[in-house]
């Protein structure tokens, strides 16, 4: 099983947040257009903005979901950021699920 772990809405640790967002959007677009199979996508911390805000990242996540990926956003994160009612894709997950998936996944992709 391949797990895509998204813990931010940016890619890289530079000082330019806009660039980091562009890079992550491009990564997700290329991943969605590739033949790489993603079984589970977990969004934590700032990664929950990807599942709660309209935009190009959400479109790529929809494509991945259409190809069979299950998407879960951290419930604690959604509650802390006041975004639980804004979830646009996937389900609300729990840390127990994240621990199990990370411990048993064959591959963990972490672009953030």
Each residue's pLDDT tens digit, 56-110: 999 999 999 999 999 999 999 999 999 999 999 999 999 999 999 999 999 999 9
pLDDT, one tens digit per residue, over 27-58 is 999 999 999 999 999 999 999 999 999 999 99
pLDDT band at 13 (very low <50, low <70, confident <90, very high): confident
pLDDT band at 14 (very low <50, low <70, confident <90, very high): confident
User: What are φ and ψ of residue 105, in 5° steps?
Assistant: -65, 145
User: What is the torsional sign of CA 45, 65, 104, 26?
Assistant: negative
Domain that holds residue 86: 2-109
Evaluate if residue 15 carries a pLDDT over 90: no
Backbone Cα Rg of the chain: 13
Under 8 Å between Cβ of 3 and 105: yes
Domain CATH number, residue 16? 3.40.1260.10
pLDDT at 66: 97
Neighbours of 98 (CB within 10 A): 17
Query: What is the CA angle 9-11-16, rounded to 5?
Result: 90
pTM for the full predicted model: 0.94
pLDDT band at 112 (very low <50, low <70, confident <90, very high): confident
Distance in angstroms (rounded) separating the CA atoms of residues 75 and 67: 24
* Structural domain count of the chain: 1
């Amino acid at each position: 099983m391949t797990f895509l772990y998204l813990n931010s809405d940016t890619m890289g640790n530079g000082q330019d947040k806009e660039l980091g967002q562009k890079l992550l959007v491009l990564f997700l677009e290329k991943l969605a257009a590739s033949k790489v199979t993603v079984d589970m996508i977990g969004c934590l911390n700032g990664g929950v903005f990807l599942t709660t805000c309209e935009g190009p990242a959400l479109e790529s996540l929809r494509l991945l979901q259409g190809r069979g990926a299950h998407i879960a956003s951290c419930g604690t994160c959604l509650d802390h950021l006041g975004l639980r009612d804004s979830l646009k894709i996937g389900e609300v997950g729990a840390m127990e699920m994240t621990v199990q998936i990370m411990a048993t996944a064959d591959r963990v992709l972490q672009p953030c």
